[in-house]
Structure 1
Amino acid sequence: MNIYCLRLLSLLLAAIFTHSSDARILEIKPSQPSLGSTPPGYTVNDLLVDFEGRGLGMQMILQLDSGSIFQHELGSQFHYPPSRDLFRVAPTLEADTFLSMGGPDSSSSEVVLVVGASTEFPESGGARQFDESGIDVAWGAILPAWFPDQDDFMVARITLSDDASGRLLFAGGTDLPWSFHNYVVANGRLVPIPEPTTATLLILGVMGGGRRRRG
Structure 2
Amino acid sequence: MLNKFLTALTIGAMASTATATVNNVSFSQVDNSSALSGHITNDIAIDYTGQWDGSQLILSLTSGGIYQDNAGSDTAPNAAFFGFVPTLEFDTFITGGALVQGGITPGTAGGAVNLGGNPGATFSTSAIDIAWFPPGGSSGITNQTGFTVARITLTDDATGTFKFLASDGEIATWEDGVIANGVLGLGVVPEPASLMLLGIGGLGALARRRTAKS
Please indicate, yes or no, whether the TM-score normalized by the shorter chain is above 0.5. yes
**CA-CA distance at 1:56 after TM superposition:** 2.2
**CA-CA distance at 1:24 after TM superposition:** 1.6
**CA-CA distance at 1:175 after TM superposition:** 3.2
Question: In the aligned structure 2, how far is the partner of 1:176 from the partner of 1:187?
Answer: 35
Correspondence for 1:151: 145
| 29-38 or 83-92, larger mean C-alpha shift | 29-38
Once the two structures are aligned, what percentage of the paired residues are identical? 31
RMSD: 2.2
Asked if 1 retains the 8 angstrom alpha-carbon contact of 2:123 and 2:129, the reply is: yes
Correspondence for 2:90: 95
- The equivalences for 1:43-192 within 5 A come to 43-76=40-73, 79-107=74-102, 109-122=103-116, 124-143=117-136, 145-192=139-186
Asked if 2 retains the 8 angstrom alpha-carbon contact of 1:60 and 1:137, the reply is: yes
Question: In the aligned structure 2, how far is the partner of 1:43 from the partner of 1:133?
Answer: 15
Question: In the aligned structure 2, how far is the partner of 1:197 from the partner of 1:18?
Answer: 25
- The equivalences for 1:173-212 within 5 A come to 173-193=167-187, 198=214
**CA-CA distance at 1:139 after TM superposition:** 0.2
**5+ long unaligned stretches in structure 2:** 1-9, 190-211
Question: In the aligned structure 2, how far is the partner of 1:140 from the partner of 1:127?
Answer: 15
Asked if 2 retains the 8 angstrom alpha-carbon contact of 1:19 and 1:55, the reply is: no
Question: In the aligned structure 2, how far is the partner of 1:57 from the partner of 1:172?
Answer: 6
**CA-CA distance at 1:119 after TM superposition:** 1.6
Equivalent of 1:18 in 2, 16, 19: 16
Question: In the aligned structure 2, how far is the partner of 1:197 from the partner of 1:115?
Answer: 28
Correspondence for 2:5: none
Point out which structure has higher relative CO (alpha carbons under 8 A, 6+ apart): 2
TM value normalised by structure 2: 0.78
- Pick closer, same or farther for the CA change 1:51–1:19 going to 2, 3 Å: farther
The runs of at least 4 consecutive aligned structure 1 residues that moved more than 4 Å come to 194-198
**5+ long unaligned stretches in structure 1:** 1-10, 199-215
Alignment-mate amino acid for residue 18 of structure 2: S
- Pick closer, same or farther for the CA change 1:164–1:178 going to 2, 3 Å: same
Question: In the aligned structure 2, how far is the partner of 1:193 from the partner of 1:149?
Answer: 27
